[in-house]
A and B are shown apart, each in its own frame.
Chain A
Amino acid sequence: MSSLERKSHRGQAVVVRGYDIDTDRIIPARFMGRITFAGIEEGVFADVRRAPDGSPKDHPFNEERFQNASILIVNKNFGCGSSREHAPQALNRWGIQVLIGESFAEIFFGNCVALGMPALTASESDIASLMDSVELDADQEIVIDLESMTATSKLGQIAVSMPEGPRSQLLDGSWNGLHTLLSAREEIRATANRLPYVDGF
């Protein structure tokens, strides 16, 4: 299996509850001042994890029992708002490798795939049970399988889903789409040539 293939993942999970958690919440803008993503995980959920005086607030990312988590479980419309890739970058560099939620905002979803990070959806009731289960037993390991499209916890197996295109890219390791796009040089030129605005009408 090449290191780029994302067929399965086994790990502990962390639960972040709430609808419409936007990318400003995931990574506040003041952490975006640098020209690289290095160290961006310092700012993940900063304003909901720390009070203005720096003291910690109640947040799952602060809890000792979730510090080894590599799976993030969320509710609806996670990652809405700004297109900043800093949001999935910060989550990924903190340790998250897979997301499971009721739904994701579109640009955020694409940014996750571009990092080789599956963002899978499951039904509202399955997410609710999974969240409860992980909060009761944070040590349990969850197994994500992108071939069978299932997530298995101590509760049993649930179905997860994802559009077929990104799924197949994650499975075969072609999610870094640059080389696929590059391999169509002739077709790119042909497309540009038939658009009248490209040469000013």
Chain B
Amino acid sequence: MGRSLFDKVWDMHTVRELPGGQTQLFIGLHLIHEVTSPQGFQMLREAGLEVLRPDRTFATPDHIIPTDSRTRPLQISEAEEMLSALETNTEQSGIQLFGVGSGDQGIVHVIGPELGLTQPGMTIACGDSHTSTHGAFGSIAFGIGTTQVRDVLATQCLALARPRVRRIHVNGELSPGVYAKDLILHIIRTLGVKGGVGHAYEFAGPAVEALSMEARLTLCNMAIEGGARVGYINPDQVTFDYLKGRRYAPQGEAFERAVAWWKNVASDPDAEFADQVELDAGSIAPTVTWGINPGQAIGVNEPVPRLSDLPDEDRGTAEEAFGYMELNGGQPIAGVPIDVAFIGSCTNSRISDLREAARVARGRRVAPSVRALVVPGSEKIKIQAEEEGLDEVFREAGFEWREAGCSMCLAMNPDKLVGREVCASSSNRNFKGRQGSPAGRTLLMSPAMVAEAAIRGAVADVRETLH
């Protein structure tokens, strides 16, 4: 019987088995940012320890960075203190920092792949739940808490329980106007927000193999929203082509040796999985959330479900969502007015996302009642988009064009919803209060759908424009 990529990578990184069934796992790449690392460095100092492998640790600020003016000192003193702490900690420990204005700064899950740091067959940890993103390359990548950040800094290891591996096999192909974002929202809607707890998800099948590297990152990014701490895709030619020539990728003959090794870590054709789910990509429509968790999602032309359509277990949260979102069961989601449109986040801020949104926005105008912003995922993406003229397309349409950062995904910087605003958002979480107003409301969708909603002033099917 063959082995899955997960099993191969896990076994290669096993330092030893610990009493009680956990594994001491070596972490090949540790990414850190300003919000969940300073307490970890403090704990390290209190324990009298130093960073074991600064050469395998990389840092960038993203969560608290303002996306308009980034002049130092930052206007919010706590943010300035946090940014300074990251600078001091990395400098003292000899860790490479991709700072603001370096040309390399950006959302940690955007720059890892962009710089070629993220590679197949690695274990990758970061104090952020969306670390699952990096699984798009065929790595085992997961979010950790701050005490675990300390553990990785001190030992380059974590103590973890081995999850089961579920294969999600997606047949067919996505229709025009339907993206990886719609696919992952559909998967979470189907398997539930806790369906993946205790599991790693392997995404496979023709519809997954057909995705670009950037679309694969979007897919794996939201595995955690389905409860799966890890989501991954087997590396293939798309992966290798993406990596070739990137700064931290192997160069020359080393690259050829790496490709041979990377091919070997992919799941064997007869690999065994705990279970397998089959889905058909062709039946998926542009998907929008109507509730307060990412599993509360529907096709744009479907009505919001009635309580009677839902399993008993989901009714309590659905009722809570109806009240919070001011939506009713049976109501169409298309036509729901929006106040804010946000294109950005580690889910959907890459150049292909911006191109698709710009294709929708070109020559049109944002509805007068809508505040719209586009936040590129990295300084590199911002420059590339400007070279392609995308910034002009957005500005002429009435979008604000910002600097790289997490922005309005999580409300740790000045970009926030106000009051009861409804936001069409390309981010990953529609939790109550997530976007910074305790009463703010979020509708998750693809960047193209956000652009369409911005222009129409309400949720609408982007396929009507793309056709």
Check: B144 CB closer than 8 A to any chain A CB.
Answer: yes
Residues of B contacting A107 with CB < 8 Å?
A: 129, 142-145, 224, 229
Residues of B contacting A163 with CB < 8 Å?
A: 20-21, 161
Identify which of A25, A83, A107 gathers the most chain B CB atoms within 10 Å of its CB.
A83
Check: B246 CB closer than 8 A to any chain A CB.
Answer: no
The digit string for B299-325, where 1 denotes a CB below 8 A from any CB of A, is: 000000000000001001100100000
Closest to A34 in B: B78
A29 and B412 contact, Cβ closer than 8 Å, known pairs A47-B432, A83-B36, A115-B147:
yes
Give the bracket for the number of chain B residues in contact with chain A.
Answer: 35 or more
Q: B396 → chain A, closest Cβ, in Å?
A: 33
Structural contact, A103 and B197, CB atoms closer than 8 A: yes
Check: A156 CB closer than 8 A to any chain B CB.
Answer: no
Residues of B contacting A194 with CB < 8 Å?
A: 12
Check: A4 CB closer than 8 A to any chain B CB.
Answer: no
Q: B432 → chain A, closest Cβ, in Å?
A: 6
The digit string for A54-93, where 1 denotes a CB below 8 A from any CB of B, is: 0000000000000000000000110011111110100000
Structural contact, B316 and A25, CB atoms closer than 8 A: no
Residues of A contacting B411 with CB < 8 Å?
A: 28-30
Structural contact, A181 and B316, CB atoms closer than 8 A: no
Structural contact, B20 and A169, CB atoms closer than 8 A: yes
Within 8 A of A (CB), among B418-442: 429, 431-434, 436, 438-439
A201 and B261 contact, Cβ closer than 8 Å, known pairs A24-B431, A184-B15:
yes
Closest to B122 in A: A197
Structural contact, B13 and A181, CB atoms closer than 8 A: no
Structural contact, B258 and A165, CB atoms closer than 8 A: no
Residues of B contacting A145 with CB < 8 Å?
A: none
The answer for the CA separation of A37 and B159 in the assembled complex, in Å, is: 23
Q: B228 → chain A, closest Cβ, in Å?
A: 9
Closest to A80 in B: B193
Contact of B127 among A37, A83, A164, A180 (CB under 8 A): A83
Residues of A contacting B39 with CB < 8 Å?
A: 35-37, 85
The digit string for B8-25, where 1 denotes a CB below 8 A from any CB of A, is: 000011111011111010
Residues of A contacting B320 with CB < 8 Å?
A: 18
Within 8 A of A (CB), among B58-112: 64, 76, 78-79, 81-82, 85
Residues of A contacting B258 with CB < 8 Å?
A: 196-197, 201
Structural contact, B148 and A22, CB atoms closer than 8 A: no
Residues of A contacting B198 with CB < 8 Å?
A: 106
Contact of B129 among A34, A83, A86, A88 (CB under 8 A): A83
Check: A191 CB closer than 8 A to any chain B CB.
Answer: yes
Structural contact, B129 and A81, CB atoms closer than 8 A: yes
Number of interface residues of A (CB under 8 A): 60
Residues of A contacting B250 with CB < 8 Å?
A: 197, 200-201
Q: A88 → chain B, closest Cβ, in Å?
A: 8
A33 and B197 contact, Cβ closer than 8 Å, known pairs A47-B438, A163-B161, A187-B15:
no
The answer for the CA separation of A74 and B338 in the assembled complex, in Å, is: 34
Closest to A192 in B: B26
Contact of B436 among A30, A35, A88, A110 (CB under 8 A): A30
The digit string for B249-274, where 1 denotes a CB below 8 A from any CB of A, is: 01000110110010000000000000
Within 8 A of B (CB), among A166-195: 166-169, 177-178, 180-182, 184, 187-188, 191-192, 194-195
Sample (25) of A-B pairs whose CB atoms are under 8 Å apart: A22-B431, A24-B429, A25-B431, A28-B411, A33-B79, A35-B81, A47-B432, A77-B197, A77-B227, A83-B127, A88-B145, A107-B143, A107-B145, A107-B224, A111-B148, A165-B20, A168-B20, A177-B159, A184-B15, A191-B14, A191-B26, A195-B13, A197-B121, A197-B250, A197-B258
A residues with a Cβ closer than 8 A to B are 18-20, 22, 24-25, 28-30, 32-37, 46-47, 52, 76-77, 80-86, 88, 103, 105-107, 110-111, 114-115, 163-169, 177-178, 180-182, 184, 187-188, 191-192, 194-198, 200-201
Given contacts A188-B156, A200-B254, 12 further A-B contacts (CB under 8 A): A18-B316, A30-B411, A35-B82, A85-B145, A111-B147, A165-B18, A184-B15, A187-B16, A188-B26, A194-B12, A195-B12, A195-B13
